[in-house]
Structure 1
């Protein structure tokens, strides 16, 4: 448990005060000011996730739409006892409910953009929508809290009468302004005691007539209500009473309507306040460039480039602070005003911030512990008067810390053991540190005592550290050096300030050999550390250049992949276009062949050379392949000697033929069927001898003309199969080479039956489904041999 005194010493309350300035609602502001660190890791992680998600929304240039909202606890109490709200409170409740709707819609829009924020949605999903209540409030009051005419028809009528009556009064008074203007102090209409009056000169008050309601401070002007408007003013006063009564009735009526939903409205206020407080933490994190830390249950703390959040970022020196893994006690030495106390406050305050769900002012990758208690004994290190009372005060605090601290505690000591005799103070400090080290507490302490440097060097789980001091400029650098104890710079500073050399040499003789050796060791460690940092900085520069180069290479590789994909897609589109074009041309050629068959008529066959020409047209649809192997084949063909009687394939026609004679060096007469043609050598490919097959010619006699398609949709299976068998015979007799069977898709029974019939038919060469643009698998094309 962390006590209030520690929170004050570490300036925790200043941090939450700054966070509260970002809140829009009074309830959220109050929640932030009551914020305390948690000691439960799950709770801490939940808080950190909420801030991380809210920060992600802010980084998109968006904010959760939460306006300034008042705290409504008094209004809720009145609703709970069935009392009427006033118009301002009613408007505030309406604004709260409208905000609830807007916030809900905001997160729904984010979901539509596929951006999910589960930690924030936990609060949003609990919001209750009350559209009917919102509608009634919007009809009743304005945003400023005034009652609208739409609240009731009776109120609208009263206000209309008020307007008409006021107009009549002004007309009457305007007439008097014209006729008796010389008796008036000023030509204007004014109001006294809620009644319209005219400013009359005092000497004419007896002549003017009417009721006197007031007079000026000098007594030279009296404000008179003329008799002509008395009745009208009376009517206006009555209308005002009627208006007030109607407003009271309206407010009571709508208050009673809202009362059953008071718990839901209170819950909405809490949910909006939660979201507002989370967004306030995120806005604060953004303002100090904070990051989300990791947490270690083993209390291993690693703060990278930690900065104190209350010090100007332009002047603060960031430091790496490590403790808890290899050592649990960090002993910091160094000169006054060197920044030792700032280091203590930085780690303590950052730890409190992290356990309160706040992001911390460190570089990404920083890690905090989950301490069950944090203690701090931090005084004013600038004080030059250390009295017994000061020592007693510090020791009282230290006694309380020792009684409560355990292995889950973070303890911060500033100038441990100071304020008393140096020898006793050093011994006491060593004993206190030794006890806390054995308990297992995590301890950071600052000191001036050289004895503690030796203790830190020789004790387990303990390490020296110091604040760097630049002897050249005689000023601190405020940089923490872990592993290097601080050393006294008094002699070097004195020498640079001009102290006599013989005095300095005399002082050196008075220093023990052990102290000199220790100082020399520290100086050597500092030199080695600076050299190591220099090498590390050079390595970091090379690493950054390598990362930039890697990023460039990655970008270029990604661009190459995109271009490759784009080229492949383009090639596919071009190939599909060519296939579609060739398909259309092929379908045109097939249709021409069908037309030729129909033109030839009965007992006639298509001439062989016509079929060859059509076959050549099909071959021309094939895209040429620009392959090296084709040239090789051509050279082989040209080199081969062909003789009369050799069987060859005529490549340009796709037909088999026989060489009759050679008419030129590279030209032959080839017979294809009944046709003889001169063919160049490069168009011929030698074929092996083929034994002639016994051909069976089928004489097809054309009967009555039948169509080239049969539609069997809607027929029963047996009837359809019978019609199909009959149709196939008729198509063969009609000399059709291609017919289409339309069977539809349906259950697939007819389609399967057609397939079975065609598979066993002796004169069917092959069959296939129609193209997609011609019915697809709803019809079958049949090719006869």
Structure 2
């Protein structure tokens, strides 16, 4: 059971109010106001699972039909003791039954479609009572305005029919007075009602001209509202029928109330279940509005929050922090300046725990984890009690003593400014002693303090970790970022210096503080610097990893395209070969059939030239002859040697021989690639005749020093483009088919400029980024025409 004091101290009730704003009914709001954290791990898991199902329904369906829900439990209780419900109360009862029916149908449709798994919501749907008969009965008797309809019973229809006839007769007679010669005696030509009877307004001076009953007079006394003798009897009949109508309506309401009495317990169940379902979707809506996630829960006291934001601080102002402890370290001591965010950090951890144990999502990133604690204790803020004449220190001690009596190893204990309000030396000693007690008994503890003595506390105890809130000396303000593993340090000297305090005063103050204090501050400053450097390195590593992943995905896609194309070509080749074989087989069968014919019909008269002709047809029909003759490589006109230019048959590219690896293989340079290829895949290319020796000498001279790659890293943009232009010209003169331009990654400006130039160049066929072994996004590979 979570202590009520902790609920107030950690502002849990404010969270309940925030969640309650998303409830659709007063029942849901009341349920949320009574919501409390559970210490049962199974119940906590179920509450979070229900919320998760609600979030899934909202994400896929957009909304949930939760209208028309009223708290009809008081109506049902009154019906149970024999009370008669009003038409409005009966209408609300029918509306609740209808809301349950619509919600049940909504969940059944989701279950049928199967796109969302909602087993817990379906169990609540199955528990909703089916009271459709009572709903129809009430709706058949009472209309949307809360009036009992004529169709409620045959007797009511008869009475109202007669009443309308009598009222019509009365009106006809009174209209005769209004339109006749007596019209001048009336204050106004209207028929009105007084004492539930139809009357006409007569001027005071003509009172004697009308018999009948005076029911009322105007405030001035000049007009009398008279029921003439001619309509008194008819009005009496109308009154009698109205009495019968009321009796029949009462009988109908009594009958409907008796039906409600019969299902009162089912109505209680319906209201409770609708309230629970309303809570589930209110939590889910709150989570969606505040960018919350469902945390993982454990029973080992482990807490790991990723980018946690205090839920009561506006999203555009709050600073998100990573907080982790509970395994290797079961105690956290946070130091740092005032207003730096220490208390907010404590409240964030405590409030997140209470929210999660209530089934409410928390404003942190996916993958966050919280523990289910039996008890949560918090001593936060200045709770000085004037009535009890207690000081701040005494007030805190009263609370702490109570905590020490109740906490156990499965508790979360939070102390704010532990030991504050008394002598610093005694307060620090007391704070250390209290932390040892709570930490030593196995509880999870977080504490904040100003005492420098506690900065060394985390280094002396194996399961304790220091933390601090960052302070920006340049802006003289806290950043509210939590630094785990780094104790806070005093910034008094730096702040004083920034504010203009003379240097000699600061130097004297530093000399007074002592060597140990300066060494500790230096160590803390070094830790802060290392922490910032590590964070920067981690950020760069993440960027490189993202880039590598993108490149890997691109290469994987290219490989898949290659494999698909390769398979397609193989399939086409196999189909072509099959057709060739089929044609050859048919041709062979035809030749054999003709030979048999010759033998049967001509016997020994078969001429030699006929046999030769048949053999030729058989030879030409063989598929291997058709394919191999076409693909057979011509005999090399000259023996291959290093530096010869060759054509690689399998790729259709030109290359240069580098050296012979074995009797059958060569190393070949193709553009910037070196490949090991069989000699049978190489075709010698004769060098072109040198018609202009001088020009060729120039080309050879260029070829001798033009590299296959151009490195532009460190170049200014304008100089780099000039170099690219000259390099492309040299490469074309050197008869290069492919070159690489190294521009690096950087801001991307140089890369964009190079690619923009290549795109406009008439002799650039295409370009692409370098592959995995070619430099990746830092290199552009261009293919030349």
Shorter-chain TM-score range: 0.7 to 0.9
Give 1:655 shift. Answer: 9.3
* Mapped partners of 1:358, 1:501: distance in 2: 54
Q: 1:363 and 2:356 equivalent?
A: no
State the secondary structure of the residue aligned to 1:309: coil
Give 1:558 shift. Answer: 9.6
State the secondary structure of the residue aligned to 1:430: helix
Q: 1:121 and 2:133 equivalent?
A: no
- Compared CA separation, residues 135 and 388, structure 1 to 2 (3 A): closer
Give 1:408 shift. Answer: 0.6
Q: How does 1:746-757 map to 2 (within 5 A)?
A: none
Residue ranges of structure 1 left out of the alignment (5+ in a row): 576-623, 639-647, 671-677, 686-785
Q: Is the 8 A contact 1:650 1:657 kept in 2?
A: no
Q: Is the 8 A contact 2:70 2:95 kept in 1?
A: no
Q: Is the 8 A contact 1:80 1:262 kept in 2?
A: yes
Q: Is the 8 A contact 2:383 2:396 kept in 1?
A: no
* Mapped partners of 1:513, 1:184: distance in 2: 110
Q: Is the 8 A contact 1:190 1:196 kept in 2?
A: yes
Pick one of 460, 463, 487 that aligns with 1:461: 463
State the secondary structure of the residue aligned to 1:197: strand
Give the match for residue 35 of structure 1: 35
Q: How does 1:579-598 map to 2 (within 5 A)?
A: none
In the superposition, the TM-score normalised over structure 2's length comes to: 0.73
Q: 1:178 and 2:179 equivalent?
A: yes
Q: How does 1:257-272 map to 2 (within 5 A)?
A: 257-272=259-274
Q: 1:627 and 2:577 equivalent?
A: yes
Pick one of 308, 314, 334 that aligns with 2:316: 314
* Mapped partners of 2:566, 2:270: distance in 1: 54
| Greater radius of gyration (CA) | 1
Give the match for residue 542 of structure 2: 540
Give 1:204 shift. Answer: 2.1
* Cα offsets for 1:657-702 (capped at 9, x unmatched): 45556779688799xxxxxxx99657989xxxxxxxxxxxxxxxxx
* Mapped partners of 2:561, 2:27: distance in 1: 52
Residue ranges of structure 2 left out of the alignment (5+ in a row): 623-785
Q: Is the 8 A contact 2:202 2:225 kept in 1?
A: yes
State the secondary structure of the residue aligned to 2:420: coil
* Mapped partners of 2:355, 2:296: distance in 1: 13
* Cα offsets for 1:355-384 (capped at 9, x unmatched): 01111111100000111110000014999x
Give the match for residue 650 of structure 1: 590
- Compared CA separation, residues 665 and 399, structure 1 to 2 (3 A): farther
* Mapped partners of 1:390, 1:301: distance in 2: 31
Task: State the Cα RMSD in Å.
Answer: 3.4
* Cα offsets for 1:124-174 (capped at 9, x unmatched): 111121332222112111234321222111112222223233332322222
- Compared CA separation, residues 666 and 376, structure 1 to 2 (3 A): farther
* Mapped partners of 1:637, 1:211: distance in 2: 124
* Mapped partners of 1:551, 1:382: distance in 2: 62
Give 1:439 shift. Answer: 0.5
- Compared CA separation, residues 12 and 558, structure 1 to 2 (3 A): farther
Give the match for residue 159 of structure 2: 158
Give 1:564 shift. Answer: 12
* Mapped partners of 2:145, 2:284: distance in 1: 31
Q: 1:21 and 2:21 equivalent?
A: yes
* Mapped partners of 1:470, 1:251: distance in 2: 74
Q: Name whichever of 547-556 and 509-518 sits farther off.
A: 547-556
* Mapped partners of 2:92, 2:201: distance in 1: 42
Q: How does 1:210-609 map to 2 (within 5 A)?
A: 210-380=212-382, 389-547=391-549
- Compared CA separation, residues 323 and 637, structure 1 to 2 (3 A): closer
Q: Name whichever of 220-229 and 361-370 sits farther off.
A: 220-229
- Compared CA separation, residues 98 and 546, structure 1 to 2 (3 A): farther
- Compared CA separation, residues 303 and 681, structure 1 to 2 (3 A): closer
Give 1:525 shift. Answer: 0.9
* Mapped partners of 2:374, 2:273: distance in 1: 29
- Compared CA separation, residues 197 and 125, structure 1 to 2 (3 A): same
In the superposition, the TM-score normalised over structure 1's length comes to: 0.73
Give 1:187 shift. Answer: 2.2
Give the match for residue 169 of structure 1: 170
* Mapped partners of 2:499, 2:157: distance in 1: 90
Q: Is the 8 A contact 1:637 1:682 kept in 2?
A: no
Give the count of matched residue pairs: 613
* Mapped partners of 2:576, 2:70: distance in 1: 81
- Compared CA separation, residues 398 and 285, structure 1 to 2 (3 A): same
Q: Is the 8 A contact 2:469 2:483 kept in 1?
A: yes
* Mapped partners of 2:558, 2:233: distance in 1: 91
Q: Name whichever of 544-553 and 468-477 sits farther off.
A: 544-553
- Compared CA separation, residues 544 and 170, structure 1 to 2 (3 A): farther
* Mapped partners of 2:192, 2:500: distance in 1: 88
State the secondary structure of the residue aligned to 1:504: helix
